[in-house]
Amino acid sequence: MISTGRTGDARRMRQFIMSLSALAVCARGRAWADSAATETAPATAPAGPPPAAWIDPDTGHRVHRLTAEPGSTGFYFNINAYTSDGKRMVYTAPDGIHVLELASGNARLVVPGKVRAIVVGRKTPTVFFSKPDEKEKGVYSANLDTSEIKKLTTLPPRGNVSTVNADETLAAGTYIEGTAGQDYGENKILPPGQSGPLVQPVNKAQMMEERLAAKLPLVLFTVNLEDGKLTPLLHSTDWINHLLFSPTDPALLMYCHEGAWQKVDRIWNIHTDGSQNQLIHKRMMANEIAGHEFWGIDGKTLWYDLQTPKGEDFFLAGYTPATGERRWYHMQRDEWSIHFNVTADEKLFCGDGGDPGQVAKAQDGEWIELFRPQLLRPSGINDKDLVQPGVFHSERLVNMSKHNYKLEPNVRFSPDNKMVIFTSNMFGPSYVFGVEVEKAK
């Protein structure tokens, strides 16, 4: 039986995973849709802007370029980019933060300058952001209707905020105590010709090892966006990162012990009063890894990439805190993705693939993928504490062989579930694209 905080027999665990992998193999056996600008994808990057739309010749799915600005990028895959009515999407470009009307394709600049977007509010038409070059860093809001900008609070020295809760009353972040040590990323080296929030430094692995080993004293905190009150939740010398509030519960915060995944117990939940600090996935195998976690749209399930062990056997795992239920969907090596996402009804998942240099070492993995989940019917003993096994049935949406995966595409579904939205540099500079879930007719 598999549950948080419970250990199991290693042999039984390995037999379970091998059996599940075998079952998985057996079980496999918007208004722009009619765009007149549809073209065949070019063989080489054009000198001008990419086409407005084309049909991928390898998949038959229509792809739309959603942004006009070279160097524009979407948000990190698990950060909300949509207004609560589902009509607008926020993205970033070298000149600042933009908002896009999904129905018309019209976009405008909302926050000019060098800023870092945090998240789009789930309650009001607001984008929260910070200014990385400020001496005293703060948290700001911009109204997406009026473009009015407000400074909400000032952060402690060496502090950053990375998430805002569902009712937009609290932000959460971390700060390093004292002046010792370097902040992560100070010495990052970006790939030649690439920049932006989704680009991975070429020395990322080295920086992560150094930051984990530094054991800098750190505080996980929340800050009230109305009165500026700061509440410490956790003191640690571990590297705390990847904070993400529940999309529905204002008092529930997910966070991670950052570092090489095989060296940390990564995924945790904590409440904003500091209670119920809970490890979400407890390792049961040497070199097992779990990470790139995200909330389901309804906030009921936490999803994460699970590999048993690292680089060998691949699952998207789901855990429902209210019931303790666990679901593991198995996939093949070439189906694995750096990031995954899910629709509100959990009938569709998507992934952004990966090149041979990623952990899966896939030889044919450079695709935007669509997954249809299937839970496998138990034929024997079943129990609420057992993992419910399943498989993904994949469909390729976009050929990403011309994409440089140093920029991670970071997939998400559009609010109407008709497109998978991602960032790509397949034409040179990065742009945000959307591929239709249904094949072109």
346-399: pLDDT as tens digits = 999 999 999 999 999 999 999 999 999 999 999 999 998 999 999 999 999 999
CA-nearest of 110, 153, 77, 125 to 350 is 77
Strand stretches in 225-263, DSSP E: 230-236, 240-245, 252-257
CA-nearest of 193, 253, 248 to 220 is 253
Confidence of residue 10 (pLDDT cuts 50, 70, 90): very low
- Reading the block at residue 51, the tokens are 């086409």
CA-nearest of 326, 288, 303, 332 to 13 is 288
From residue 283, give the alpha-carbon distance in Å to each of 237, 294, 350: 21, 18, 25
CA-nearest of 293, 312, 267 to 14 is 312
> How far apart, in Å, do the first and last CA atoms of the chain sit?
47
Alpha carbons 353 and 374: distance in angstroms, whole number: 20
Alpha carbons 94 and 150: distance in angstroms, whole number: 21
**pLDDT beyond 60 at 6:** no
Confidence of residue 107 (pLDDT cuts 50, 70, 90): very high
Average pLDDT of 85-98? 98
**Least confident segment among 27-31, 123-127, 180-184, 403-407:** 27-31
SS3 80: coil
- Reading the block at residue 246, the tokens are 């529940």
From residue 226, give the alpha-carbon distance in Å to each of 87, 165, 171, 182, 205: 27, 13, 10, 31, 38
Question: Is residue 30 classed exposed, middle or buried when 0-12, 13-18 and 19+ CB atoms within 10 A define those classes?
Answer: middle
Report pLDDT digits (tens) over 28-65.
443 343 333 444 444 444 557 899 999 999 999 999 99
pLDDT at 31: 37
- Reading the block at residue 155, the tokens are 């952060």
